[in-house]
């Protein structure tokens, strides 16, 4: 039976798994219910080995092909964590937990990899080993790094690794990919502005941190527009301001500014901490205040290997045909910590069409069940193409 038809056969079963994950979202590394369900299903399918608590709460499972001693292994990764978002959907599988929601489709990604496990355990139509990586804490928690630091690549002798992510508004049944930089490096910053608070009716007795912070926010926008080449893709976004008081008639002593920066070029990335620090400090001084900057490097650029991108495209062609694969997609400035795995092992990351839908991290988002067989088929084709029978 063709691979896609086999997945269509048990799509309803996969939908049941996904809805179960969606109703019970968990955050970052704290995934007891999710990991228990994943392990139960993997055991039911008959995988050859399971190890949990890799990278704190990650799961690694092996499926052996017909000849295990072929010396080849391939890794497939799915993320499991949800987001601290309150869902506004009203369907039956809506999140049952307040301020937790699968608003990025990781419930779908986990389900896809479970579907792949079920199929590969049935068929074993490959030589070597398939290593399934169920990762925690993709949403800003460093889950991929935790698994890599736990010797994921070395201990399971992974030769190449692949992952996918749904893409809202790319039609279901289509894939999108490019070699090189596909997703951005993602960093974070915090600026604490300190001055002298006081009565809002007597501003001349204070050093107004609110005014200074407003000037800093405006000045930060000029870093990208005036210090970075227009040919570079760089984003600097201020995402929050908070003060130590909410009273209408009080000038605060301190203001906290938070934000994020995104890059496709590592040289531009390395210049940013100094630029933010100089801008914030000098602007604060001009208003009689001071500023302290904390800059945190996050995930690196998700940089697809050229040859592995070709392998990913070849597998997708078997699923949907060349006409339904976009290989010239523009990079997306969101971050993805699959980059940590690509830094240790050749591989590629691909986008799977989610059809018309709300954007990632939106409280109205939902993974499209119709995309499940396409994602499963892509992984299964990769296994059979990259680990062929003699």
**What are the tens digits of pLDDT across the range 134-172?**
999 999 899 999 999 999 999 999 999 999 999 999 999
3-state secondary structure of 250: strand
CA–CA dist 18, 105 (Å, integer): 10
Which pLDDT belongs to residue 2? 63
Residue 1: what pLDDT?
54
Report the distance separating Cα 75 and Cα 373, nearest Å: 19
- CATH superfamily membership of 3-179+305-386: Zn peptidases (3.40.630.10)
Q: Which residues pair with 353 in a beta bridge?
A: 167
Cβ neighbours for 354, distance < 8 A, ≥ 6 positions apart:
105, 166, 167, 168, 169, 170, 172, 367, 368, 371
- Say how far apart CA 239 and CA 355 lie, in whole Å: 28
Question: Which residues make Cβ contacts (< 8 Å) with residue 268, sequence separation at least 6?
Answer: 228, 232, 234
Measured at the CA of 83, the angle between CA 82 and CA 87, to 5 degrees, comes to: 100
Distance, CA of 125 to chain centre:
30
| Torsion (CA) 371, 377, 379, 382 in degrees, nearest 10 | -140
Indicate the angle between helix axes 209-227 and 266-286, nearest 10 degrees.
150
Residue with token string 């979202």 = 25
| Yes or no: domain 184-297 corresponds to CATH 1.10.10.60 | no
Domain 3-179+305-386 shares a fold with domain 184-297: no
Confidence at residue 120, expressed as pLDDT on a 0 to 100 scale? 97
Give the Cα separation of 108 and 339 in Å (integer): 20
Handedness of CA 195, 198, 201, 205 (dihedral sign): negative
Residue with tokens 């086999």: 6
The three-state secondary structure class of 164 is strand
pLDDT of residue 351: 98
Nearest to 340 by CA among 8, 100, 75: 75
Question: Quick one: residue 174, left, alpha or beta (phi over 0 = left, psi -120 to 50 = alpha)?
Answer: beta
The model's pTM? 0.93
**CA 168 to CA 343: how far, in whole Å?**
27
Ranges of residues in the chain with a pLDDT under 50 are none
End-to-end CA distance of the chain: 20
Torsion sign across C-alpha atoms 60, 64, 69, 73: negative
Q: How many CB atoms lie under 10 A from the CB of residue 112? A: 30
Compute the distance between CA of residue 343 and CA of residue 251 in angstroms, rounded to an integer: 47
Give residue limits of the domains in the chain: 3-179+305-386, 184-297
What's the gap between Cα 195 and its chain centre?
38
Phi then psi dihedrals of residue 240, to 5 deg: -165, 145
Q: What is the pLDDT of residue 231?
A: 76
Q: Render the burial of 357-383: b for 16+ CB within 10 Å, e for the rest.
A: bbebebeebbbbbebbbbbbbbbbbbb
Whether 56 and 29 have beta carbons less than 8 Å apart is answered as yes
């Amino acid at each position: 039976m063709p691979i896609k038809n086999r997945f269509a056969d048990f799509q309803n079963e996969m939908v049941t798994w996904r809805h179960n994950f969606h109703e019970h979202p968990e955050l970052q590394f704290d995934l007891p219910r999710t990991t228990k369900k994943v392990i139960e299903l993997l055991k039911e399918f008959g995988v050859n080995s399971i190890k949990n608590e890799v990278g704190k709460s990650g799961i690694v499972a092996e499926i052996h092909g017909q000849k295990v001693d072929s010396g080849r292994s391939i890794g497939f990764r799915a993320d499991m964590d949800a987001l601290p978002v309150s869902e506004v959907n009203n369907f039956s599988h809506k999140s049952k937990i307040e301020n937790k929601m699968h608003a990025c489709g990781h419930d779908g990604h986990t389900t896809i990899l479970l579907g792949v496990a079920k199929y590969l355990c049935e068929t074993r139509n490959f030589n070597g080993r398939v290593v399934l990586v169920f990762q925690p804490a993709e949403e800003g928690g460093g889950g991929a790094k935790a698994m890599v630091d736990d010797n994921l690549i070395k201990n399971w002798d992974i030769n190449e690794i692949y992952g996918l992510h749904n893409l809202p508004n790319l039609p279901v049944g289509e894939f999108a990919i490019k070699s090189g930089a596909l997703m951005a490096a993602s960093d974070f910053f915090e600026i604490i502005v300190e001055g002298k608070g006081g009565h809002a009716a007597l501003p001349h007795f204070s050093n107004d941190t609110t005014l200074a912070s407003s000037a800093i926010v405006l000045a930060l926008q000029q870093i990208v527009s005036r210090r970075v080449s227009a040919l570079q893709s760089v984003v600097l976004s201020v995402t929050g301001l908070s003060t130590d008081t909410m009273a209408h008639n009080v000038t605060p002593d301190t203001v906290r500014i938070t934000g994020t920066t995104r890059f496709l070029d590592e040289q531009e990335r390395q210049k940013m901490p100094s630029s933010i620090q100089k801008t914030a400090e000098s602007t604060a001084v001009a208003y009689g205040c001071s500023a302290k900057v904390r800059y945190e490097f996050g995930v690196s650029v998700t940089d697809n290997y050229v040859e592995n991108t070709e392998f990913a495209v070849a597998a997708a062609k078997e699923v949907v045909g060349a006409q339904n694969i976009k290989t010239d997609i523009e990079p997306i400035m969101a971050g993805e910590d699959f980059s940590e795995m690509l830094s240790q092992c050749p591989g590629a990351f691909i986008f799977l069409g989610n059809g018309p839908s709300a954007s990632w991290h939106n409280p109205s988002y939902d993974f499209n069940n119709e995309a499940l067989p396409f994602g499963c088929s892509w992984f299964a084709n990769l296994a059979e193409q990259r680990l062929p029978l003699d």
